[in-house]
Amino acid sequence: MDQRDRDQRASRDRRIDRRIDRPETGSRNGGRVGVTYKYFGAPDGATAARVPISMRPEELGGDELGMNGMFTKIKPETMAAMVLTGIEGVPLHKVPPLELVVLHPDYAVVKLPMTVVDPLRGIGEEAVGAAAFIWSTVPDRGGPRDAFNVYQLLHEWQDFSHRLHEAGHQPYCLVWP
């Protein structure tokens, strides 16, 4: 590695450090700016744990993490709560925790419960719209607040749920600052 490469890497690392340390504007919980969530399917935790550590999320393709994954800025805890609260009627305090698969200084991989994707496979437009409205009215929660944005996100999540089911995979999320 020559000096120019080292300088570019150091500059990128400083930008990432600044982005991680800066709280979001308007955030009540001091959330991190620049965190990307890559949702993907894998047959098991061992497969999900084999995440390339040298790649940024925008470089990760379907081959490494399961075809047709989803990138979003929505935390996996929020996705779980959206589905379970809006569709299943589960109170926020009863949303099950996520399972940590890998914790690395540069990233983490978590497993979402199947109850977060299964309910979406059997519902229609009206149920998705109702869930979006319900989520948009839930007090004291993070994530998108506009019902239409929630509706679009739940539709994406519904498509993702169908792809997971067809592949026989479980839902995982790569969290990468």
Minimal CA–CA distance to 31: which of 133, 130, 141, 137? 141
Residue 33, class by beta-carbon neighbours within 10 Å (0-12 exposed, 13-18 middle, 19+ buried)?
middle
User: Given a cut of 60, is residue 90 above it in pLDDT?
Assistant: yes
Q: Which residue did the predictor score with more confidence, 22 or 127?
A: 127
Work out the pLDDT band at 176, boundaries 50, 70, 90: confident
Query: What is the distance between the alpha carbons of residues 139 and 87, in angstroms, rounded to a whole number?
Result: 16
Average pLDDT of the chain is 74
Q: Which residue did the predictor score with more confidence, 138 or 172?
A: 172
User: Given a cut of 90, is residue 7 above it in pLDDT?
Assistant: no
In this predicted structure, what is the pLDDT of residue 5? 54
Asked whether the beta carbons of 85 and 150 are under 8 A apart, the reply is no
Average pLDDT over residues 79-100: 86
- Summarised one tens digit per residue, pLDDT across range 54-66 is 455 555 544 444 5
User: Given a cut of 60, is residue 148 above it in pLDDT?
Assistant: yes
Strands 170-176 and 107-111: antiparallel
User: Given a cut of 60, is residue 12 above it in pLDDT?
Assistant: no
Whole-number percent of the chain with pLDDT over 90: 8
Predicted model pTM: 0.71
